[in-house]
Amino acid sequence: MEGVRGRTMETIKEKKKQTPSTTGLKISGAEAIIHCLLAEGVDLIYGYPGGAIMPVYDELYKFQDKLTHILTRHEQGATHAAQGYARVSGRVGVAIATSGPGATNLVTGLADAQIDSTPMVCITGQVGSHLLGSDAFQETDIVGISTPVTKWNYQITKASEIPTILAKAFYIARSGRPGPVLIDITKDAQFDTFEFSYEKCTGVRSYNPVPKPDISKIEAAAELINCAKKPFIVYGQGVILGQAEKELKTLVEKAGIPAAWTILGLSAMDTDHPLNVGMVGMHGNYGPNVLTNECDLLIAIGMRFDDRVTGSLDTYAKQAKVIHFEIDPAEVNKNVKADVTVLGNAKETLQLLLPKIKENSHEAWHNEFKKKYEIEFNEVIKEELNPTKDGLTMAEVIKEINIASNNSAIIVTDVGQHQMVACRYAKFNQTKSNVTSGGLGTMGFALPAAIGAKMGAMDREVVAIIGDGGYQMTIQELGVIFQHNLAVKIVVLNNDHLGMVRQWQELFFESRYASTVMVNPDFVKIAEGYHIEAKRVSERKDLKTTVQEMMASKKPYFLEVKVEKEDNVFPMIPTGASVSDIRLK
């Protein structure tokens, strides 16, 4: 086993050797798939083999010196790992699976990537083309199933289609607003031979991934910004995807505008920047939420006005003019009507905007955010970070991780209370540091996504923050961490409940805790079964030293922290309520 463990990550960087040209040679469809992946710069894929994809796996065996395949323990794990890799590396993640259940097990990851704009290409095997529609063994219409949750999909039935379709797949996945693409390939197309040639795709008819900026719209936006007395920026993941972090910071500092992040925008700016005022949304900070309904200009950059951000649309920012910087025209005026829409890549549009912006400070307006923060600090934050009660809080665990990592770790979160606490209290000083399931809210996301994040940024510490419920949905991916000796730090915040559901039951269902109590296994023993160093902390006196030990380790490390069972996450905007009605307790 030691011959396998530790081998992968040492050799991935060595696999970018020049592949001999196969242009003009007659090769099989399966071999063509490998050459297409290599031509797109792919050196790492996640997957699970099976009958209908066997020809491709046979070729992967032959190309081990150039292309690393990571055998996940479930196909869903492959998609989340590919997502984590894509989110931190900026490259297209790749996952591969067989037909039938292998393909359907990809659907959750596809849906997650679609709503969170993650570039991913999934390749599935399919039964032979002569069997299509016959209910053959492990035949499933994955193209029909995945159509609502992919940016594009296609079924290949002829080997000669492979180069053109895969080139198009990678182009569509990474261009404009990124997203997942699924390519289904029949088994006979994998076996058949054809004369191979490959040309990267640079455009698709009728597909305009990046709208050309309208200068008149940029001038109108600049005029509103320069005249505003209480401007407020809310930025999302579009800033990160567009590589516009520098431009955002320059705008914020030049115009003196307070800025808040959405859950996926987190880490686009340093969390400790004095003009970065916190998180908006259901469990966001008090000031950014309340003052959304007091600003005179709301500037949305690379965000889509999700319902968890806006609360009731009937009362959301009705007093304000709205500027929406957005790459996807489908998101404009979908939820919130914009007075000025600036279409295009955020980096390009902000670069055009900046020379037209006057310097400003808005000190009185900033003081309003400071006052609201003091209220939230006294009512919520102080007790969460420095609790007076005996039980450990989730927030103090995040605080210790911040300290031990010097705010430089990649934090990968699952879904639930721990996710909201981490997004509220994690500190970041680098972009692409927050990896979470935002729009779909997929429990089980974090562990495999942390695997991909680590492989996408081997020089950085990766910490997975997971609840005891979500952890058990993909716990089998510990096998990947063990097999490849990935120095992922896994922190399970264990309250023996499905915490977020329990909180809603307490607040809105008269404390009827239906099916939310968890009877959990011994998580430490399970981790040790995978030969991963593991510890459990239940007392405050042991927390700091154990977290420091974990962060100092150069190997995989599992830490279970027993936290308060009924520790609710506040502030909170009740479903359907206004952002002004945010509750502090």
Q: Is residue 383 part of a domain?
A: no
The pLDDT, as a whole number, for residue 522 is 98
Kindly state whether residues 559 and 497 are assigned to the same domain.
yes
Which among 195, 227, 244 is the end of a domain?
195
Assigned domain for 95 exists: yes
375 part of a folded domain: no
Domain co-membership, 70 together with 182: yes
- Give the residue among 431, 485, 405 at the shortest CA–CA distance from 1: 485
Please indicate, yes or no, whether residues 402 and 342 belong to a single structural domain of this protein: no
The CATH number of the domain holding residue 403 is 3.40.50.970
Last residue of a domain, which of 368, 400, 429? 368
* Whether residue 492 sits in one domain with residue 416: yes
Q: What is the distance, to the nearest Å, from the Cα of residue 480 to the centroid of all Cα atoms in its chain?
A: 20
CA end-to-end distance (rounded Å), the chain? 52
258 with 280: CB under 8 angstroms?
no
Exposed, middle or buried, 515 (CB in 10 Å: 0-12/13-18/19+)?
Answer: exposed
The DSSP letter of residue 275 is: T
Task: Give CA–CA dist 200/186, Å, rounded.
Answer: 23
Residue 377, domain member (yes or no):
no
The helix (H) or strand (E) run that includes residue 290 is helix 286-292
500: annotated active-site residue: yes
Asked if 298 and 260 sit in the same domain, the reply is yes
Query: The domain containing residue 112 runs over which residues?
Result: 2-195
C-alpha 193, offset from chain centre = 38
> Is the domain of 235 the same as that of 330?
yes
Q: Which amino acid is at 73?
A: R
Per the structure, the count of domains in the chain is: 3
Catalytic residue among 10, 13, 16, 137: 137
Residue 210 belongs to a domain: no
In a domain, 207, yes or no: no
Give pLDDT < 50 ranges for the chain.
1-7
Q: Which of 138, 243, 476, 548 is catalytic?
A: 138
pLDDT of residue 14: 53
Q: Whole-angstrom Cα distance, residue 23 to residue 137?
A: 35
Question: What backbone torsions phi and psi does residue 388 show, to the nearest 5 degrees?
Answer: -95, -15
CB contact at 8 A, 33 and 185: yes
Residue 373 lies in a domain: no
Same domain assignment for residues 182 and 219: no
Pairing mode, if any, of strands 340-343 and 488-494?
unpaired
| pLDDT at residue number 21 | 65
pLDDT digits 0-9 by tens, 276-315: 999 999 999 999 999 999 999 999 999 999 999 999 999 9
pLDDT at 10: 53
The C-alpha atoms of residue 189 and residue 129 are separated, in whole angstroms, by: 8
Edge-to-edge strand order for the sheet containing 276-279?
276-279, 259-261, 231-235, 297-301, 321-326, 340-343
pTM of the model: 0.95
**187 counts as catalytic:** yes
Choose, from 31, 75, 331, 400, the residue flagged as catalytic: 75
Which whole-number Å values give the CA distances from 116 to 143, 146, 216, 425, in the listed order?
Answer: 20, 16, 30, 22
Are 266 and 336 in the same domain?
yes
- Are 30 and 86 within one domain? yes
Residue 355: is the preceding peptide bond cis (ω within 30°)?
no
Same domain for 187 and 228, yes or no, is no
**160 and 102 together in one domain:** yes
138 annotated active-site: yes
Does residue 523 lie within any of the structural domains? yes
Tell me, yes or no, whether 68 and 161 share the same domain. yes
- Position 430: which residue type? Q
* Residue 503 among the catalytic residues: no
The total of other beta-carbon atoms located within 10 Å of residue 314's CB is: 9
Q: Measured between alpha carbons, how far is 56 from 61 in angstroms, rounded to an integer? A: 9
Active site residue 137: yes
- β partners of residue 154: 183
- Asked if 295 and 225 touch (Cβ cutoff 8 Å), the reply is no
